[in-house]
Structure 1
Amino acid sequence: MSGTLLDRGTRQPLPFANVLLLRLPDSTLAGNTQTADNGTFTLANVPLGRYVVRTVALGYQPARRVVTPSLTTPAIRLGEWPVVPVAVQLAGVVVQGEKAVLVEDLDKKVINVDKDLNSAGGTAADVLQKVPSVAVDENGQVSLRGNAGVTLYLDGKPASSNLRLDQLPASRLETIEVITNPGARYSAQGTGGIINLVQKKQRQAGWNGEALATLGTRDKYNASLNLSRRVGKFNVFGSVDGLSNRFQGSSGLRQEATAEGRTTSIDQTGRTARHQTNRSLRLGVDYAWHPEQTLTLTTEFYKNDLRHTNNFTTQLTRDTDAALVLHNQNPETDDLYTMRIASNYRHTWEAHPGRELTAGAVYILDGGTVTTAQRVLDGPAGYTQQARRQVLDVTIHMPSAQVDYVHPLDDKRRWGAGLKTDVMLTPGTAEYGVQPVPGAEFIRQEASSYRYHYRQVIPQAYGTYQQKAGRWDYQVGLRTEFTGLQARVLPTGSTSQRLLNLFPSATVARRLPHHEQRLQLSYSRRLNRPNFLQIVALPIYTDARNYVVGNPALRPEYVHVVELGHQVAWQNTTLNTTLFGRFANQAIQSLRIIDTLATRLSGQPDFITRTSYQNLGRTASYGLELSLTHPLTKWWKLVANGSFYRNQVTGYTGSGTRANFTGTAYLLNTFNPTKTLAVQLSGNYRAPLVVPQGRLLAVYGVDVALRQRLFHDRAALTLRVSDLFDTRRQYTRLAAADLTTDLQTKYETRVGYLGFTWFLGTNKPASSIDNQPKGDTGGFGG
């Protein structure tokens, strides 16, 4: 028996609804299931007889249908099943179940953000720390199984290039989906996988929403308002967010280099101050003018500002010469904005269940300036007191359009196809200036200033075929993508690439008897295109002695991904096990070396380092992931996940390999001592990881949080402390020809947050599965 549960008014699918199979005439339970993200459900291996299929979804009237499977009609197709929304009186609500913080499926992992108390007042980066094999560094860079080639989506559409997970408030998100091995209907970009950030959007009738205010220790503030109103064929929704955080930190750097026969060491210790402010506005409307057709329009605007100052002391020692001591200051100012306009059209056919056409278009405009400067506040006469400044001015246009179509051949077979085009245009400038004396105007240095233009066009097409045969499910797909890019830097030169690639994928799954078991084997080929800063030969100065520059000869990295997953559930316990292998060619690696020419031209008794990118042989990671959800008592639930894998990279010299066994671990304890109080205690650990020139040392920490529901579930008070023992810090050790680097960074990670949330309409605290806001999953594909 199969069907698709829909909201009768909006025609939107209803995920996580309960579908019960009751025997007639005694109404005993013969089976049950839950609807998937797209509202579909299946009840398999049902004995012949007479039954009632009953749906239960909070906020909707229960619905029922009588069915009689027989030898002549062994398959019952209920098709699209619209259900009627109804206002729910909170006093009459009976909690039936509880949505978990982390829901593991064989093809993706879903984090329910509101259920994670340790994300209150935090960001999307805080939430992702709970996912197996995911690591987030101090700059918000995400890696999955040691691979940083992760592609970000927002509501199922490409995210802005300015989007940083450590700047996106967790309060704006409904769920985060992590897809480790996407199929052909997903873009091939991202060797590490895809992370889809699903924003909140209520669909209940009338006014609904929530208002949140959070205070953090040492000047950290966050406020947000999410509202929606559904009347008739219209559902209008919107949100406004504001964030202002100040962080303190420390850093230490030791570098030793041998250049032109002389050895110089640099010892730096510093203090950092960072002030981050974000503001955003999001407005949208769903219009269901026909039961089978829905149009969604959304516009968003983000403003991100960052003020970062690093004051440090540098000690320079050259051979046996006396040490030189400098006092430096490196300020950075980021003024960035993003505008995003998206539309999505969905058409279904009631007479042909499962047939669906979706089309969408997105336009993203990123822009702003990044200003970095280096000042010597105090030092010997041999060093100039001039200040240096680089101003990067960038504008990024990213239009895209797609269309997807799914056509069922019968109740067991269907095919799908899609087209998509992504365009990226990036004109910009990088101006380098020198300030002769404090307070004077900066003088533009023509030889170190550049103009650049980057253009990338990626037309894509895909096709998929799915089939069910008893307990077996099969899916195959093929995607083709053409990459055309041109990068020009004036006055240095230009480069271009023209690449056509095929990306096959396949999945075989089998449902096993007993305990709802499922076994799945999947394969896909993917790539990691270098971003424009990795290709454009544009020097960007991180400080007076270190700079980063792109490599015009850089080519995409290609990867083969294989996963074998097993899922089993018994009573309230679920266990997911995944064996995985990821094998990359032309791996893109970041390398730091001594720039001997720049060192000679600087005229200073130290050295200049250059960081660039290179296709460096092959990388591989293969290992095991485990995830367990288990209630120890009625008031104590345990979620444990972890990974253990071998990570292998090519050494920076191009000969030999570097490898180690590494992994991640996460443990979450949820306690419910009373009906209205929830307490969470969690800890995570990332083991040391090798890179081509060295290794990243371990990172670990413990978080604690509690939530008290108030005023008959109209409000909630949340208190949390991140990094309770103040242990999270980043250590990096690198080695190259005649160069060694030890870098330590410690940001302010032990922070206390106090948040208050007021719930509007039928919305209520995230304590159970009932009445949760549905996120706009957008439309993957194309």
Structure 2
Amino acid sequence: MNSFLTFRRALRCLGFLVALFPLGLQAQNGGTVSGKLQDQSNNQPLPFANVVLLKTQDSSFVAGAQTSENGAFAVEKVATGTYLLRATVVGYQPFRKTVALTATAPSIQLGTLRVAPSAVQLKGVVVQGEKAAVVDNLDKKVINVSKDLNSTGGTAVDVLQNVPSVSVDQSGQVSLRGTPNVTIYVDGKPAPSTFRLDQLPASRIENVEVITNPSARYSAAGSGGVINITLKKQQKDGWNGQAVANVGTQDKYNTSLNLNRKAGKLNFFGSYDGSDNRWHGAGDLHQVATVGNSTTRTDQDSRNVSHNSYHGGRVGLDYDLTDNQKLTVAADLSRNKGWERENLTTLLTRNNDAPLALRNLGYDDEQQRELDLSTDYRRTWAGQKGRELTANVTYVDVDVDVTVGQRVLDGPIEYPKQERQQKYDVGLSLLMGQVDYVHPLGEKSHLDVGLKTENLFTNGGVEYLLQDADAATFTRQDAFSYNYRYERNVHAGYATYQAEVGKWNYQGGLRAEYTNLTGNVVPSFGNFNQHFLNVFPSATVARTLAGDQRVQLSYSRRLNRPDFMQFLALPIYSDQRNYRIGNPNIRPEYVNAFELGHQVSLGQMSLTSTLFWRQTNQSLQSIREIDTAATRLSGQPDFITRTSYRNFGQTNNYGAELSITQPVAKWWKITASGSFFRNELTSFSGDGRNRANYTGTARLMNTFNPTKTLDVQLTSNYRGAVITAQGRMASVYSTDVALRQRLFNDKAALTLRLSDIFNTKRQYTELYSEGLTANFHNKRETRVGYLGFTYYFGNSKPAKKIEQGPKSGGGGFGG
């Protein structure tokens, strides 16, 4: 009943939002110039090309558009007169044509325009153009994964590490312009909280969209922005697909198969992904803690090995109900099984006593099963261009079983050697529903409205077990064992209005979200209940300038909603000396984000620059400190640390970002991107003094095409040192190289990749707290060689050339 009442509130809010926007806009006078661009050599459509109209007198800019996936374009609201039409796309010769609009013929259909590739003969080598790997618009970046060789044999983590503006640390945490709170979408829908990037093979990904300042159309969650991962789904006629097999150094194997069969109104699609990988790592810890008058120093070295096996499948179908209606149903089932073993050598020194030497074995066994079911519906109207209705229902069911333990292999007689275990049993279900409607209010304006509901429920238990004296059995420790329940319901509605007037584009939106959180931890932490209603405005203004230029200013309000593990007061021990616990009193953090961007194309060079500023209120941070009470009760020479979460004050982060692409030769292209920003965090001591540093990221990619069928990529990445709530993380840098040789008349491809050539990728962390200082060093296996083979079925083929944009996009907004 309460959920129904809250949903009614969201509906009322939506009605209020819609009332804020005009219900109509008078169409301006003017004609249309339309047509379709194709490759002159193979009659393939040319998507993402820029088409502009210039005045014949002075070549000044009049209007422009970008071709769609099928190469079609339409330049609208053009006054009568004579113009020069110019079409440009990377890797092709510029196309020019004179067009005339008159009072009797105010619109013109040019039909198919064939564009010649920028082909040059070099010792028998022909280099041809194709769709860019990075399409860099002001509002979002689109990365076409099939053109990125540096993710071959890898996972979504490898894909995102090669995305401009994005950083991924060794624990898999994603940051966007230094902000870690990023919302991950899969096929346009928010990923469940159990989603892991390292379990999604790169071979399943079609492209990645990075949206740094999303509009009100997107969920407000994710203060850093939105990353949308689009999975592959073949839709070509007949049988089509590709099979991939990769083998990596030190026992790494993965394979995938993607197929579709389209006949008439039905398109059946399916895929399988499997991987079996073993990883090695090492680390050390140097820590000093003071409790009362006692100081303990910990020096620890670790060596670990982990193994992970994954099997996942997807089946589904598209059915064209009518020419304007499509229904899609799909099911995904995956199973993941992994383990990790870590050998630790520790020296504990209390005050001036002789050090105690310990040898421990830590272990982690995990199994996860996930089922995803989704249904999508789409309707368009033939007589009303741009009018569209879409609906989606998604259900996710996840079961996770984890056992974490530690055994003392060697140590002083007085030190307890009983093995300890924690067993986690987690069940999670997520039900989401969404309806979106776009209604045109003229030739160049439209109103978007939508409703969404998201209901997440999870429950489970944690058992703490202690080895008995006979070493054969374990006894449950009731004082440290818990059961939990958590439920989150989010109901939302939004409305956005977009219009184009001359050289100006406008978009404004408002989103309302009602959130209700309930949960408890039994036996000792009781119940908690939070509910809040928030409004999130967004606005964008853009102007097209002379000389293929565009400038854009945008604003949005967003939030970072804590997940259930941050809320629940559920102690989770990584070992007998360190545990993590949630805080039911924390609140979401809220972000005001501003961006000012400029984009220009100068011949074959494309340059995009952005200034950004983010203000965060109720900043949410994790804090590690000594649990003095638990340390005294343990009676051991070491100490116990606790990691939890708190809200602190306000922070301001601002900086600049630059992205440029420049052909050096017909066979060599350079793409460079970088950012420089001020990273600010609130003081964990609560004294109002914030900490800040200046840092940045850089990425340089060289793309070579030495022969007609050979592609080479050399990529270097750098992330500067960043501060944390209680310390700092040192800079990280690496270089990757990859090659691809196309075979058998483009029916197959052989790839070779070496990641982190110089083995420089490692993580250094410094931590400071009251009575506690620590230095961590972690080195995972990052220098890995992969050899892969891909075979293409039907009409599927490898890209003929890897164009590493960023390529300039055209008008419009990503939200």
TM-score, normalized by the shorter chain, greater than 0.5: yes
Give 1:599's aligned residue.
631
Match of 1:358 among 390, 399, 403: 390
Structure 1 residue aligned with 2:542: 509
Distance 2:108 2:632 in 1: 79
Equivalent-residue separation in structure 1 for 2:35 and 2:419 (angstroms) = 65
Instruction: Tell me the equivalent position of 1:116.
Output: 148
The Cα of 1:433 is off from its aligned counterpart by 0.5
Residue 781 (structure 1) shift: 11
Q: CA deviation at 1:133?
A: 2.8
Alpha-carbon distance between aligned partners in 2 of 1:167 and 1:451, rounded to the nearest angstrom: 28
Distance, in Å, in 1 between the alignment partners of 2:267 and 2:85 is 30
**What stretches of structure 1 of length at least 5 have no aligned partner?**
7-13, 24-29, 58-65, 84-93, 771-779
2:698 corresponds to 1:665: yes
The match for 2:730 among 697, 705, 715 is 697
1:16 aligns with 2:47: yes
Tell me if 1:536 matches 2:596: no
Q: Secondary structure at the match of 1:447?
A: helix
Does 2:187 match 1:150?
Answer: no
Alignment-mate amino acid for residue 763 of structure 1? S
2:235 and 2:267 in contact (8 A); partners too: yes
Query: Residue 206 in 1 paired to residue 238 in 2?
Result: yes
Alignment deviations for residues 598-620 of structure 1 (CA, whole Å, 9 cap, x no partner): 10111211100000000122222
- In the alignment, structure 1 residue 373 sits paired with structure 2 residue 405: yes
Aligned to 1:723: 756
Q: Which residue number corresponds to residue 123 of structure 2?
A: none
What is the alpha-carbon distance in structure 2 between the residues aligned to residue 114 and residue 275 of structure 1? 27
1:636 aligns to 2:636 (yes or no): no
Q: Which residue of 2 aligns with 1:91?
A: none
Q: Which of these residues, 472, 487, 494, is aligned with residue 440 of structure 1?
A: 472
Q: Give me the whole-angstrom Cα distance separating, in 1, the residues matched to 2:53 and 2:291.
A: 80
Aligned match of 1:750: 783
Verify: 1:465 aligned to 2:477, yes or no.
Answer: no
Q: What are the equivalent positions in structure 2 for 1:49-448 lying under 5 Å apart? A: 69-71=101-103, 97-437=129-469, 439-448=471-480
Cα separation, 2, equivalents of 1:325 and 1:336: 36
- How many residue pairs are counted as aligned between the two chains? 740
Does the CA contact (< 8 Å) of 2:216 and 2:536 recur in 1?
A: yes
- Counterpart in 2 of 1:565? 597
Going from structure 1 to structure 2, the CA distance change for 1:288 and 1:15 (only over 3 Å counts) comes to farther
Alignment identity in percent? Answer: 54
**Contact 2:396–2:429 under 8 Å retained in 1:** yes
- What SS does the aligned partner of 1:317 have? strand
Deviation at 1:33, TM superposition (A): 5.3
Most deviating of 216-225 and 653-662: 653-662
**TM-score of the pair, normalised by structure 2:** 0.87
Kept in 2, the 8 Å contact 1:134–1:142? The answer is yes
Counterpart residue identity of residue 164, structure 1: R
Task: Look up the match of 1:26.
Answer: none
In the alignment, structure 2 segments of 5+ residues that lack a partner are: 1-31, 38-44, 55-61, 90-97, 114-125, 804-812
Matching residue of 1:550: 582
Q: Is 1:161–1:366's contact at 8 Å kept on the other side of the alignment?
A: no
Distance 2:510 2:63 in 1: 36
Task: Kindly provide the amino acid, as one letter, of the partner of residue 701 in structure 1.
Answer: S
After superposition, the Cα gap between the structure-2 partners of 1:324 and 1:769, relative to the gap in structure 1 and judged at 3 Å, is: closer
Amino acid across the alignment from 2:424: L
- The letter for the 2-side match of 1:572 is Q
Distance 1:720 1:96, change over 3 A: closer
Matched, 1:709 2:742: yes
Calculate the TM-score normalised by the size of structure 1: 0.90
2:7 equivalent in structure 1: none
The letter for the 1-side match of 2:152 is: A
Q: Separation in 1 of the partners of 2:70 and 2:405?
A: 50
Q: Take 2:488 and 2:225, find their aligned partners in 1: how far apart are those partners?
A: 21
Partner of 1:737: 770
The one of 510, 514, 521 aligned to 2:553: 521
In structure 2, the CA distance between the partners of 1:72 and 1:477, relative to structure 1 (3 Å rule), is farther
Question: Match for residue 500 of structure 1?
Answer: 533
Query: Matches of 1:113 and 1:491 in 2, distance apart?
Result: 48
2:800 to 755, 767, 774: 767
Contact 2:703 2:802 in 1 (8 A): no
The AA in structure 1 aligned to 2:764 is Y
Structure 1 CA distance for aligned equivalents of residues 154 and 187 of structure 2: 20
Q: Deviations along 1:193-225, whole A, 9 cap, x unmatched?
A: 111110111121111110000000000001000
Q: Relative to structure 1, is the Cα distance of residues 498 and 40 closer, same or farther in structure 2, using a 3 angstrom cutoff? A: farther
What are the superposed Cα offsets for residues 391-443 of structure 1, whole Å, 9 maximum, x if unpaired? 11111111010101111111022111000000000111111111125752221
- Change beyond 3 A, Cα 1:366–1:781: farther
| TM-aligned CA deviation for residue 185 of structure 1 | 0.4
Letter in 2 for 1:574: S
Letter of the 1:255 counterpart: Q
Amino acid at match of 1:212: V
SS of the counterpart of 1:410? Answer: coil
State how far apart, in whole Å, the 2-side matches of 1:315 and 1:769 are. 53
Tell me, in whole angstroms, the C-alpha distance in 1 between the residues paired with 2:421 and 2:726.
30
Residues 237-259 of structure 1, C-alpha deviation per residue, up to 9 Å, x if partnerless?
11100011111110111111000
- State whether residues 186 and 781 of structure 1, in contact with CA within 8 Å, keep that contact through their aligned partners in structure 2: no
Q: Is the 8 A contact 2:51 2:67 kept in 1?
A: no
**1:676 match:** 709
CA contact (8 A) 1:96 1:769 kept: no
For residue 378 of structure 2, what is the amino acid of its counterpart? R
AA partner of residue 47 (structure 2): F
Superimposed CA distance per residue, residues 500-559 of structure 1 (whole angstroms, 9 cap, x where no aligned partner)? 000000000001111x21111000000000000000000000111110000010100100
Note if contact 2:140-2:814 (Cα within 8 Å) is conserved in structure 1. Answer: no
Q: Equivalents in 1 of 2:242, 2:183: separation in Å?
A: 30
Distance 1:52 1:469 in 2: 21
Q: Which amino acid aligns with 2:236?
A: Q
Change (3 A) 1:22 1:517: closer
8 A contact 2:332–2:371 mirrored in 1 = yes
| Aligned mates of 2:469, 2:109 — CA distance in 1 | 80
Range that drifts further, 629-638 or 125-134: 125-134
CA distance in structure 1 between the partners assigned to 2:555 and 2:684 by the alignment: 29
1:760 partner amino acid: F
Indicate if the aligned counterparts of 1:385 and 1:437 stay in contact, CA closer than 8 A.
Answer: no
Match of 2:481 in 1: 449
Please report how far the alpha carbon of residue 56 of structure 1 lies from its aligned counterpart in structure 2 after TM superposition.
13
1:347–1:769: structure 2 CA closer, same or farther, 3 Å change rule? Answer: farther
